[in-house]
Amino acid sequence: MKREIIQGSCWDYANAVYNRAGYPNRNGQRITIFKGKKSGPYAAIALIEPGDFLYYINHSYYDVEHSAIFIEWIDIQRSTALMLSYGGEHRKAPARYRPYDLSSVYRIIRAN
């Protein structure tokens, strides 16, 4: 297994995960399950599945937009999920598994 830090934004990291898994953003390899705006409306949590590439409001960090890969629900009633997330800001740090509040998901992308 190759160990590598992908510097860039959170989106760059999640996009690289999809590309390396064989799902580039072309030829219908990715489908948009839900597309809203940063201000809402937001996706119903029932639409989210493991492996989805999500865009959401990061309520734990200044309510900025964030992108990460959904792993599983920690507490679906509270919209808390385990995500594979890179902090962005060109950090020289690896991605990590962290819990996030997914009450404000505004885009869901899925491998097809």
Q: Where are the domains of the chain?
A: 10-111
Which tens digits make up the pLDDT trace of 7-64? 889 999 999 999 999 999 999 999 999 999 999 999 999 999 999 999 999 999 889 9
Which tens digits make up the pLDDT trace of 57-107? 999 988 999 999 999 999 999 999 999 999 877 788 889 999 999 999 999
Q: What is the pTM (predicted TM-score) of this model?
A: 0.92
- Strand 96-101: give its sheet, edge to edge: 30-35, 105-111, 53-58, 64-75, 80-85, 96-101
